[in-house]
Amino acid sequence: MFFFMSRVNYKLTYVVVFLIAILLPNLDRFVSFRRFSFRSGKDGQRKRGLFHSFTFCFIITAILAWFYPITAFPFFLAYGTHLITDSWTVEGIKPFWPLKYASKGSVKTGGSLEQMLFYGFIVADVIMAWIVLV
């Protein structure tokens, strides 16, 4: 997030959009519609579909670029980063939903490697924030 901060004119908008977009793909944990549920697959585990795809990311980024351009870059950056890191997990993602191709890695969700990566990203963010803001 802070890597591009020195080149951004609307810093507050950038940060707010980034923080919302980084969490947005996990909306499928909480949303379900009458006929279409995002919550679970056949095996009872959470299914990563539309919201965990670059298809959705590209569509929303294009809409934002058309109507409110200053939000498009931080949205794409945050949402795309979330998708890339989720593609490292064993569960993986379908990057170009509705195509069946899945991108999977070897990181177990909730495992020690995921925790190390999470805290590593936090440390990197704190260091970059320190460099940019001080």
- Domain boundaries along the sequence of the chain: 2-133
Q: What integer pLDDT is reported at residue 40 of this predicted model?
A: 43
Q: What integer pLDDT is reported at residue 51 of this predicted model?
A: 83
Q: Where are the alpha helices (DSSP H) in the chain?
A: 11-23, 54-67, 72-86, 112-133
Q: What integer pLDDT is reported at residue 118 of this predicted model?
A: 82
The residues near 95 (Cβ < 8 Å, ≥ 6 apart) are 53, 54, 83, 87, 101, 102, 103
pTM of the full predicted structure? 0.76
Per-residue pLDDT tens digits for 63-87: 999 999 999 999 999 999 999 988 8
